Structure 1
Amino acid sequence: MKRLIAPTAAILATALAAMFAAGLTGQQAMAQEASARFGAKDAPEIRLRSTTDLDVLGPAIAAFVAQHPDWAVQFDQWGSNLLYDQTLLECIAESGPKADAVISSAVHQMVDLVNRGCAGTYRSDRTAALSPSLQWRDEVWGITREAAVMIYNRAGVPEADVPHTRFALLDLLRPEASPYRGRVSTYDIEQSGLGYLFAYADSLEASTFGALMESFARTGAVATCCSSEIIESVASGDMLIAYNILGSYAQSHADPRVGIVWPEDYTLVLSRGFLLPKGSAQAEGGALLLDFLLSGQGQRVMAQSGLVATLDDTEGSNTEALVPAGALRPIRIEPTLLVARDAEKRARFLARWREVFAR
């Protein structure tokens, strides 16, 4: 039985603060990072909100409307934390406009929304064909396959220094006179839901997690919000190495100044979650979009943007350093992710993080 949980004061405060600061109301209240419409002007509109960069997911949406010209898609790109807050607020309100489809890399937040009774149920041949680790209760589905990688500046990091494991990264940061002091970057887990998820998964997986946090603190590592910002800082040479970055974004940038490493000790694998908000105006259209993204054509188009990556040493792999299948650590879409949303555990985790990146 689904359990609807009242919103926390922090969630409501975040939403109201954004509204008053911007002087806006309704859907415009939350900061949209990018927006575009695909399809005919007079076609019924599917409102899609996603954390995925518009230029990365856009080709798949364009392919969808080309195959389904009777539909249009309004694509709004959001940050993960604000997307979660807005989706939850619209769920609690029960009436009023809401998204018809939500796609987020912060899948622990998507599982939480399902647990709160905010998702519509849907089942088709394509959703049923997904692995059990890529769906939960016919209400959230994993549609991509992306690795958490390390990236480095090719000019600034000698080949002998390129870290292929977390242990190697620790070795680079150990010397007092390390040239990498203050030149390593990662996601700010308070601003990025994806960054939080990766850090939390690391804390469960790696014996190196504590040592990495200590090393980041000692060497002045930099935490920032966004994939594009981090990748550009590495490309420019302001940063030399970045840790736990989505490989799909690194690949889509295709910058020859940036090298990509899939860690050989283990590589986290993310599948972005797709959710159909309960009571949306165009639930049929949202379900049609889901089935398209899970289809062979949808997967091929997303693969061209790096959203569906070859994960091991099979022929045709697009990785720079192939990783054995045994090193892959998929993040399963399942209720155990709710632990990452536990208020007490999250508070302790964030407090530790703030100590590391205190300025």
Structure 2
Amino acid sequence: MIRRCRSPLAGLLIALLGLAAPAGAATPLVVEAALDREVVTPLLDAFRAAHPDIALEFRDRSTLEVDERVVDDGPAPDVVISSAMPWQMARVNEGHARRLDSAEARQWPEWAKWRDEVFGFTFEPIVMAYRLDLSRRMLPPQTHADLHTLLTTEREALAGKVTTYSPLGSGVGYTLFQQDARYTPRFWDLVAGMGRVDAHLENNTRAMLKGISDGRYWLGYNLLGSYAMVWAQEHPEVIVQVPQDYALVLMRMAFVHRDAPHPAAAEAFVDFLLSHAGQRVLAGETPLFSVRPDVIGPYTAARLRDQVGERLYPIPLNASLLAFVDPQRRDAFLARWRREFRRDD
């Protein structure tokens, strides 16, 4: 499909129309996000309280849907948020982001931003999850090696009872498997093991968690820890396990769209994500884990590092992400994924 790019003139007209709102009316703000509304509601509420003059519209979509909204023919969103880090980096590299020149942007850690255009504002571990009663049948896995062993020795018992992301239907799923391939020596054996137990491939963490609670699945691999932790609080039958050999960490990446109809409101929103006030909400009221070192709470990057130590492997927020969306590399990776997932030896 050939996409038409927005012209700079079209973006200027949209911005001018946005400035023509009646005096005293709240400024609209549209945020396209791959971020569960239930999880992020405390942060949205805090922003609305701090900026009553901005009418925030938060649209929760899948990672691939959010990516489409960046370049489609409709009005541009003001802010784009996604956990599909390579896709976000690619859109910024293509020139779809507006550079922020604010104190919050300048002071943000270098490892969590790129060119002051895109910012990683969360620090979310990737986890395994399983049903509480799994331990009555077998020893729950604590490491990637444990999982591989379980898929081999308990193949019949686990048939149809394992779930993970689809690398084809989920941008974040594809990203996580690409990262796993870097750190797990027997990664492709792990993929083959999941294929031999007919693992169910889902497009989001919520579907995996629901299946575990329902009893359709006994074990889930590569779930977003932020969602899993919230779910487990309300569903005691679900146990969340941070892998003990290594744990990937992803960041939600946010940028102001180049053609944002309401750029001032958009910049205020991203600034709030990076601010001490916004990060304090993340650390204290959500399991998204704050990045700022000067924030204290149960969910901070510093506290997670204290608990897990050197086994945390954050996905780098830099230009190396662009390689993962290279069409040839992606096609080659997915072709091998299909081949290994069907392997039977």
TM-score (norm 2): 0.85
AA at the equivalent of 1:146:
E
1:341 and 2:322 matched = no
What's the C-alpha RMSD, in Å, of the aligned pairs?
A: 2.6
Maintained 8 Å contact 1:148/1:267: yes
What secondary structure is seen at the aligned counterpart in 2 of 1:324?
A: helix
Distance in 2, Cα, partners of 1:175 & 1:339? 36
Query: Could you say which residue in structure 1 is the equivalent of 2:243?
Result: 263
1:67 and 2:50 matched = yes
Once the two structures are superposed, the pairs formed by residues 1-359 of structure 1 within 5 Å of their partners are 9=1, 12=3, 42-90=25-73, 97-158=75-136, 161-175=139-153, 177-253=155-231, 254=233, 255-303=235-283, 304-308=285-289, 323-357=307-341
Q: Give 1 or 2: higher helix fraction.
A: 2
Distance in 1, Cα, partners of 2:263 & 2:322? 26
Query: Could you say which residue in structure 2 is the equivalent of 1:3?
Result: none
Q: Which moved more, 1:293-302 or 1:258-267?
A: 293-302
Q: Sequence identity of aligned pairs in percent?
A: 31
Deviation at 1:271, TM superposition (A): 0.9
Maintained 8 Å contact 1:156/1:237: no
Deviation at 1:269, TM superposition (A): 0.6
Deviation at 1:264, TM superposition (A): 1.1
4+ residue stretches of structure 1 with deviation over 6 A? 317-320
Deviation at 1:204, TM superposition (A): 1.6
Q: Which moved more, 1:322-331 or 1:248-257?
A: 322-331
AA at the equivalent of 1:71:
I
Distance in 1, Cα, partners of 2:340 & 2:69? 30
What secondary structure is seen at the aligned counterpart in 1 of 2:72?
A: helix
Given the superposition, is the C-alpha separation of residues 338 and 357 from structure 1 closer, same or farther in structure 2, using an over 3 Å criterion? same
Distance in 1, Cα, partners of 2:32 & 2:338? 30
Maintained 8 Å contact 1:112/1:338: yes
AA at the equivalent of 1:342:
D
Given the superposition, is the C-alpha separation of residues 230 and 61 from structure 1 closer, same or farther in structure 2, using an over 3 Å criterion? same
Give the count of matched residue pairs: 315
Residue by residue over 1:18-47, the C-alpha shift from the partner in whole angstroms, topping out at 9 and shown as x without a partner, is xxxxxxxxxxxxxxxxxxxxxxx9411110
Deviation at 1:108, TM superposition (A): 0.8
Given the superposition, is the C-alpha separation of residues 259 and 189 from structure 1 closer, same or farther in structure 2, using an over 3 Å criterion? same
What secondary structure is seen at the aligned counterpart in 1 of 2:130?
A: strand
Maintained 8 Å contact 1:223/1:357: no
AA at the equivalent of 1:355:
R
Maintained 8 Å contact 1:188/1:223: yes
Residue by residue over 1:106-153, the C-alpha shift from the partner in whole angstroms, topping out at 9 and shown as x without a partner, is 011110001111111113222222222211111100011101000010
Unaligned runs of 5+ in 2: 5-23
Maintained 8 Å contact 2:48/2:54: yes
AA at the equivalent of 1:349:
F
What secondary structure is seen at the aligned counterpart in 1 of 2:133?
A: coil
Given the superposition, is the C-alpha separation of residues 315 and 82 from structure 1 closer, same or farther in structure 2, using an over 3 Å criterion? closer
Given the superposition, is the C-alpha separation of residues 176 and 186 from structure 1 closer, same or farther in structure 2, using an over 3 Å criterion? closer
TM-score (norm 1): 0.81
Distance in 1, Cα, partners of 2:136 & 2:86? 37
